[in-house]
Amino acid sequence: MHLNHAADTPAASEITFDDFLRVDIRIGTIIEAEPFPEARKPAFKLKIDFGPAIGVRKSSAQIVDRYTLDELPGRQVAAVVNFPPRQIGKFMSEVLTLGFSDDEGEVILFAPDRSVPDGSRLF
């Protein structure tokens, strides 16, 4: 799946509110970040704590150009937690960490502007 990250891309086709509710987007805190040299595109492996109901999940994130491994632990991020796991090389990515493209097309992580409980759902 290729996603167009341009800011001038038109809005997607309309969906219903029920469609939106099927996508489970939660906040979690990154507890571990490590290199992912085997990835086709430069990426990090993340372990994200989504609180007691969901627990710790793994994600591959192509954020190496805007973040360092040292600054990621402790950072809250948003992720889709109800997609099926996706095999990326030898790594199983369990959630889709969300971000937006900056002016240069690099991913900027999506996060709340204040701390919220891990596991909080977007609504």
Give me the domains of the chain, ranges plus CATH numbers: 17-109 (2.40.50.140)
Count, residues in the chain: 123
At 1 the pLDDT is: 41
The pLDDT > 70 percentage for the chain reads 95
At residue 50 the predicted structure's pLDDT band, cuts being 50, 70 and 90, is: very high
Cβ burial 90-116 (10 Å sphere, 16+ → b, else e): ebebbbbbbbeeeeeebbebbbeeeee
| Ramachandran sector of residue 90 (left: φ over 0; alpha: ψ -120 to 50; beta: rest) | alpha
At residue 8 the predicted structure's pLDDT band, cuts being 50, 70 and 90, is: confident
Q: pTM for the full model?
A: 0.91
At 117 the pLDDT is: 98
At 4 the pLDDT is: 53
| Beta strands at 44-49 and 56-61: parallel, antiparallel or unpaired | antiparallel
pLDDT at 43 over 70: yes
pLDDT at 57 over 70: yes
Comparison of pLDDT for 85 and 89, the residue scoring more = 85
pLDDT at 119 over 70: yes
At 5 the pLDDT is: 60
Q: Which pair of structure tokens corresponds to residue 82?
A: 């109800």
